[in-house]
Amino acid sequence: MSVIDCVTSFVDGRVRLRHPALKDKATAELVCTVVGGVDGISAVQANPVTGSLLIYYDAEKLTREQLLELAEQGAAFVPGMNEEAAPADTAEGNAEQDGASRKACAVKAPVDELLGFLTRRSTTKFIDRAMLVSLIASLAALPLGSRTVHTAAGGVFVGGVLQHLLAHRKAL
Query: 3-state secondary structure string, the chain?
Result: CCHHHHEEEEECCEEEEECHHHHCHHHHHHHHHHHHCCCCEEEEEEECCCCEEEEEECCCCCCHHHHHHHHHHHHCCCCCCCCCCCHHHCCHHHHHHHHHHHHHHHHHHHHHHHHHHHHCHHHHHHHHHHHHHHHHHHHHHHHHCCHHHHHHHHHHHHHHHHHHHHHCCCCC
Share of the chain above pLDDT 70, in %: 77
The correct CATH number of 3-110 out of 1.10.10.10, 1.10.240.10, 1.10.20.10, 3.30.1360.40 is 3.30.1360.40
Q: What was the pLDDT predicted at 83?
A: 52
Percent of the chain beyond pLDDT 90? Answer: 1
Looking at residue 172, its pLDDT comes to: 67
Going from N- to C-terminal start, the domains of the chain cover 3-110, 121-167
Residue bearing the bigger pLDDT, 16 or 110: 16
Confidence of residue 31 (pLDDT cuts 50, 70, 90): confident
The whole model's pTM is what? 0.47
